[in-house]
Amino acid sequence: MNIETVATQPFSDQKPGTSGLRKRVTVFQQPHYLENFIQSTFDSLENYQGQTLVLGGDGRYYNRQAIQIILKMAAANGVGRVKVGQSGILSTPATSCVIRQTGAIGGIILSASHNPGGPDGDFGVKYNISNGGPAPEKVTEAIFAHSKTIEQYKIVTAPDVDLDTLGESRIGEMVVEVINSVTDYAKLMESLFDFEQIHQLLTGSFRMCMDSMHAVTGPYAHAIFEQRLGAPAGTVQNGTPLEDFGGGHPDPNLVYAHDLVAILFAENAPDFGAASDGDGDRNMILGRKFFVNPSDSLAVLAANATLVPGYRSGLKGIARSMPTSQAADRVAEKLGIPCFETPTGWKFFGNLLDADRVTICGEESFGTSSNHIREKDGLWAVLFWLNILAVKQQSVEELMHDHWQTYGRNYYSRYDYEGVESDRANTLMTNLHAQLPTLKGRKFGVREVEYSDDFSYTDPIDGSVSNNQGVRIGFTDGSRIVFRLSGTGTQGATLRVYLEQYEADPTKHHLDPQEALADLIAIAEQVAQIRTLTGMEKPTVIT
C-alpha cells in the first residue's frame, strides 16, 4: 500500500456549523480543501485505527468523487473497515442506524441537507460519533482547531472502488464493504411500526402521495411504501436521486415542495401527503387541503405514541429545540413526563437520548425522531403518522382538530429571510441585543414584555453550557417572538423569526395562523426593523 503524505496549508473557513461543514461545491473542489477537513477530522479522533467507519451521502453532485477521496484517506490513516452505501447513497437516518447496529466508531455523511445541489449548488461533510448522532461541540471545535494548523494529509494511491456492486474489496489493509443502502433501515422501521396495519390502510381506499424531491429517500420510499406496504406504483413521486435534485430545492416546506402542495390542495386530493429533504432527515406532513405545522406534528406523535408498537410502553420524556412551539410541552404536562428545551441542532438531543431521559424529540424545522437512532428521521415520521391514522381511522384534519380540542392550539409560524447580506444580518442581531435590557415591562398594544434574553442552555447530563442560542422576547400572555441566524446556508445569512401564541378557546382554533399572529408579526418588525435592515420587503419562506 503506497501511502502518500501531501503538504498542504490551512483554510481559514473550515469551522463546522450545526450540521457539519457546508460550502459551495466549487469551494470543496479546491485542491486540498476536502482533504484538509477529512484529515483534521481523523486527527481529532482517538483510537479509530482498525475500527469500522460508515460512509455515504445524499447523492448530490460531488458525492461519488468525495467518497473515493475519503476511502483512500481512511485507508492511509489506519481505518480497519468502511461500510459505504451502494452507489454512495446512504440517508442520514440510515447512517445513524448502521453506525449503531454495527458498533462502528462513527460515520462521515456527505450532505448539505435541504440546500440545492448540482455543480453550482452546495456540498457538505458531517462527522457522526459512535452513538450515531452528530459530533458534539467539543469534537467539532477540535476539528476546526486542527484545520487551522494542518500542514499535511495522508492518502493512498489506489484505483477507485466500485461503489455500485455489493460486496467487499480492499484498499491496502482496509476492507471496503459496499452495503445495501435500505435493508438495515427498513428492518428497523418494521420493528417499530405495525406494518400489517399500515399495509391494510394503504391497500384500501386510503390514498397517499410521497414526494422524495429527487433526493436520497427515493430508494427507501419505493422499497418501504410501494414494495413492502403495498401502496400503488406511483405513490412515490420524484423518487430517483439526482445530483442536482432535478433542479429543485430539496427542502420539504410549502414553498419548495410545491408539486406536492398542489396535489394535496387540488380537488379529489389524496388523503395524506408527505415530503422529505435532501438527506432524508426532515419531513413535511399534509392532509387533504391541510398543512400540519412541524411543531404540531411533534406534539401529535407524542400524544398518540402508545398506539404504535415501538412506543406502547410510553415515553420517558420529550425534547424540543427552543424555537419549536410549546405544543409538545402541553402534551408532556398531561402525560406527567418532562419536556426539555434545547438549542437548535440535533446534537443537543444526544445526551438526553443516551441517558434515557427522553424518547421523542423534534425541531420546528421539519425534523422529528426518537431514541431508535440519533438523527432526525423523515420516513420514520411519515410511518408514525400512517400508523396513527390506521389505528384511529381519522383524516389528518380530524386528528389535528381533536388534538387542539384536548390541548389547545399553539398558533405558530416561522419567517425565513434567506440570503441576507451578512453585515446586514449581524447589524440586526446586534441592535436586538442592545435592546434586551430595556424591553421588560414595555407594552406593544395589549401585549407586555415579560422577559427578553439570549437563550443559554446547560446540558443536564454533562453540564456543558451553550450560550447565544437565539434572542427571545416573551410576553405576559405566554406569546413570544424568537430571532436567530441560521447556520445551514452557504451564502450570506438566513434570518429566522419565530412567532407563537397559545389559544385555549376551541371556538378560536379555526383562524389562519398569519391572521392569529398578525400583531406579533408587526411587533417583530417594529423591534427588529427587519425590512430596513435586511433590505427585503417580505420573507423568502413562511411556514
113 is catalytic: yes
List, in order, residues 6 or more apart from 145 with CB less than 8 Å away: 44
149 by Cβ neighbours in 10 Å (0-12 / 13-18 / 19+) ranks as: exposed
Quote the CA–CA distance of 176 and 160 in Å, as a whole number.
Answer: 11
CB 122 within 8 A of CB 209: no
- What cell does 469 get? 442560542
- What cell does 241 get? 436521486
Residue 489 vs residues 72, 194, 203, 422: alpha-carbon distances, Å:
29, 37, 40, 11
Quote the CA–CA distance of 100 and 146 in Å, as a whole number.
Answer: 27
Quote the CA–CA distance of 257 and 267 in Å, as a whole number.
Answer: 18
* Distance linking the first and last C-alpha atoms of the chain: 53
Report long-range pairs for 445-450 (Cβ below 8 Å, ≥24 apart): 445/519, 445/523, 446/519, 447/475, 447/476, 447/477, 447/479, 447/519, 447/520, 447/523, 448/475, 448/476, 449/473, 449/474, 449/475, 449/476, 450/474, 450/475, 450/476
Quote the CA–CA distance of 441 and 475 in Å, as a whole number.
Answer: 9
Quote the CA–CA distance of 415 and 423 in Å, as a whole number.
Answer: 19
Please identify which residue in the block is written with the cell numbers 480497519.
80
- Helix 422-439 to helix 518-528 angle (10° resolution) is 100
The identity of residue 462, as a single letter, is D
Of 44, 87, 113, 212, the catalytic one is 113
Residue 57 vs residues 87, 154, 267, 280, 463: alpha-carbon distances, Å:
9, 22, 37, 10, 33
- What cell does 520 get? 406579533
Quote the CA–CA distance of 21 and 18 in Å, as a whole number.
Answer: 9
- Report residue 409: phi and psi, to 5°: -115, 130
C-alpha dihedral sign at 339, 342, 345, 348:
negative
462 by Cβ neighbours in 10 Å (0-12 / 13-18 / 19+) ranks as: exposed
Quote the CA–CA distance of 185 and 497 in Å, as a whole number.
Answer: 35
List, in order, residues 6 or more apart from 417 with CB less than 8 Å away: 494, 495, 496, 497, 530, 534, 536, 539, 540
- Characterize 404-442 residue by residue with b for buried, 16 or more Cβ atoms within 10 angstroms of its Cβ, and e for exposed: beebbbbbbbbbbbbbbeeebbeebbeebeeeeeebeee
Q: What is the DSSP letter of 408?
A: -
Using DSSP bridges, classify how beta strands 290-292 and 52-57 pair: parallel, antiparallel or unpaired.
unpaired
Which residues are identified as catalytic?
Answer: 113
